[in-house]
Chains A and B, each alone.
Chain A
Amino acid sequence: MKKKLLLACLILVLAVSTGWTRGGAEEPTGTVYLRFYYPVGVAGDHARIMEEMVRDFNASQDDVFVEAIFSGGYRETMERAQTAFLSGNAPEVAVLDAPATFDLIEMGAIAPVDDYIEAEGGDAYISRFLSGFMEIARLDGQTWSIPFQRSTPLFYYNKDHFRAAGLDPDSPPRTWDDVYSYSQTLAEHFGPDHWPVQVPINFWLLKPIVLQAGGQLESDDGRSVAIDTPEMREAFDYLNGLVRRGYMAPIRQWAPSVSDFIAGNVTMLYNSTGSLTHIENSSDFEVGTAFLPVHRRQVVIEGGGNFFIFNTDQRRQQAAWKFITWMTNAENAARWSIRSGYVAVREDSYDLPLYREHVERTPNAITAFHQLQQVEIERNFMTYQQAQLAELLNEMKEDILGGADVDTTLREAQRAADAILARFQR
């Protein structure tokens, strides 16, 4: 019993002792073996698709062998990668939530990829990636990652519900005010036990709302966060209003919100493009997708995972780069996008006949791409101690939507955020 209780410190010592097992053995020649951690951040069978692609990569050549290691959600994968790195046993390559970049650099875990990009053709190579996705990878003049499973928040709605309530299924709400009026219509039609709209608890959906109100959340250098602001209040006026009028359940988590939408308990849902394929496959109604409703500013953020190369040695980093370029070439970026629902990260993917057919078959697949082109894009919420601050924002949202006083909560959250970032002030 005591053993179990001491789990935490036990793992501490395991983490240290695994470091000893890694000796300075001579590098063998021949095939380079890579461990590749990857997360699945949304609902769907993404792990299977990933395994398939890695198998195809391994079969396509003999120089590199990649072992794909499913590591849970974004959070779990990051925990696992950090712990492995700090115990001297890091994976060679991983897909991690892009906003982890500051923390990964701080730890000295990852290697910049500029030299590899240069060798691949420099600008000619990297400019094929959608520029909206590259911003978060570049810090202080260096490039730290390559976009892979990228997304934007997307507005899903149930067209059958729209029809039933007398709303036009082809004109989804475009502004916050629209969301209110549509919700009212839906609420009148469906009555209680039905939620017109759902914005699940997640900092990733809070940031665009703050930006749309004209605010900013974090500084570019990731060392400060602005929580106690008028724009944050306006964002919560919007969300709180929906809750108080009975249009939105106060607290719903990320994953169950997708099930609620599929089950028909919710008509309009804020979620990720990454959930698109799962939602389309699982719904027995017509699914509509649209840009996030906007307010003062027409703006949305990007999100999702990038490929990171861990600091190992030249040979393994080179092999990891080879794997990454294969996974993100035009065909594979298209393949991943089609199967998963994520936005294809390369412009040349959209010209492939394969992708054109896909868009014709499932017109919703192109909504996120259009959103990226037609609406202003800002980077995902990225700071030092990102996991901790993200948790803080989620908790703050739960507090306020759960009924806590807005002013007090924002003031306390601001103080807590400042304390977390105190050691990063220059």
Chain B
Amino acid sequence: MHAKSLRPYLYILPAFVFLFFFTYYPAGFAFYRSFFHWNTSFIQPEFAGLYNYRQLLQSRRFWQVVTNTVVYSFSFIAASVLLALFLATQIDRVKRGGSLYKAAFFYPTMIPMAAAAMIWMFMYLPDYGLINYYLRRLGFSSVGWLNDRSIALFSVTMVGIWKYTGYYMILFLAGLRNVPDELIDAAHIEGANGRQRLLKISLPLISSHLFFILIIAIINALEAVDQIYIMTQGGPSNSTNLIVYFIYQNGFRFWDMGLASALTALLVVSLLLIVSTLFLTLGRKVYYEV
């Protein structure tokens, strides 16, 4: 082969080596180990067949975690993406101070999730937290934001929405800025109202952004763990335990690496399925020529 044609492969190589050792090899290793007993009683892993998977599928906790994760993901994705789109369309129309609003809404993105979770934890404190303080002053009774199992998942979802909406909004804005003004003006003249201009002109034109944001949001939803670790540790009554935290809990707290590996394998496979399904369906309809 000609030396010149080898060059791009050489340039890719270092990055690929890192990617291999830190992404694909561990993923493969976890998959392999998921078929082993590997815990405090089996310091040396021992082949276990499908034992870990059977354990999981039979465990009530596992299904509770799956339900929590699905509920969290759907509400997080729907709320943050729609809110981001709404904010972006409004800020896009702002005549003055647009960058001020952009900075203001983007701000939570820059705070590390761990720090943000601490802030929210203080706001959520039951007896003298900020939110309950004002609720009481307005004459309502206190809410157990993180102590009531019917509300706690909602409370941690709020933190995720608060954290990521600004980021998605900026991405939407970038798309909206590329929508040619002539098209909007033309639609205006033709008598299209605001909703029609958004749904028929802007949205189709930024569908590549929408698709990208959707993928990112799915990943953000499934990898949520920082705020769980800091705010609730999966409680109360396991009601805020999400899949990544559950992996950590089984792997490092209970030191059952076999079980944790099986969970990791399930997570990776389902994520791949979801993302590839999206690419093969919605991805085909995306318009890339803005």
Contact = CB atoms under 8 A, between A and B. Distances in A.
B147 interface: yes
A48 interface: no
A352 to B, nearest CB: 39
A391 B253 contact: yes
Contact of A8 (B22, B60, B222, B260): B260
B257 A12 contact: yes
B260 A395 contact: no
Given A1-B219, A106-B41, A402-B149, A8 B248 contact: yes
Interface size for chain A: under 10, 10 to 19, 20 to 34, or 35 or more residues? 35 or more
Interface in A344-399: 384-385, 387-388, 391, 394-395, 398-399
A249 B136 CA distance: 16
Nearest to A384: B40
B30 A1 contact: no
A355 B126 CA distance: 39
A50 B118 CA distance: 26
A263 B33 CA distance: 49
B253 A9 contact: no
A412 B238 CA distance: 14
Given A12-B257, A388-B254, A6 B244 contact: no
B261 interface: yes
Contact of B147 (A16, A249, A395): A249
A395 B251 contact: no
B254 A6 contact: no
Nearest to B61: A416
B67 to A, nearest CB: 16
A391 B246 CA distance: 13
Contacts of A106: 40-41
Contacts of A103: 40, 255
A394 B223 contact: no
Interface stretch (A75-83, A135-143, A288-296): A75-83
A2 interface: yes
A79 B252 contact: yes
Contact of B128 (A195, A250, A263): A263
A241 interface: no
Nearest to A13: B26
Contacts of A201: 235-236
A265 B133 CA distance: 13
Nearest to A401: B236
A8 B128 contact: no
B251 A5 contact: no
Nearest to B22: A10
Nearest to A17: B21
B26 A252 contact: no
B61 to A, nearest CB: 8
Interface string B116-144: 00000000011110000000100000101
A5 B238 contact: no
B171 to A, nearest CB: 14
Given A395-B238, A398-B235, A398-B237, A3 B252 contact: no
Given A10-B22, A265-B127, A265-B128, A398 B236 contact: yes
A423 B261 contact: no
A117 interface: no
A32 to B, nearest CB: 26
A193 interface: yes
Given A8-B260, A252-B126, A402 B148 contact: yes
A156 B223 CA distance: 41
Contacts of B274: none
A13 B29 contact: yes
B264 A6 contact: yes
A164 interface: no
Interface string B51-88: 00000000011000000000000000000000000000
Nearest to B260: A8
A166 interface: no
Interface in A300-346: none
Interface of B: 21-23, 25-27, 29-30, 33, 40-41, 43, 60-61, 125-128, 136, 142, 144, 147-149, 216, 219, 222-223, 225, 235-238, 244, 247-249, 251-255, 257, 260-261, 263-264, 267-268, 271
7 contacts: A3-B22, A9-B261, A83-B255, A106-B41, A385-B40, A398-B237, A416-B60
**10 closest Cβ contacts across the A-B interface?**
A9-B30, A9-B26, A398-B236, A13-B26, A251-B147, A388-B254, A265-B127, A398-B237, A79-B252, A8-B247
Interface of A: 1-13, 16, 75, 79, 82-83, 86, 103, 106-108, 193, 195, 201, 249-253, 256, 260, 263, 265, 384-385, 387-388, 391, 394-395, 398-399, 402, 404, 412, 416, 423-424
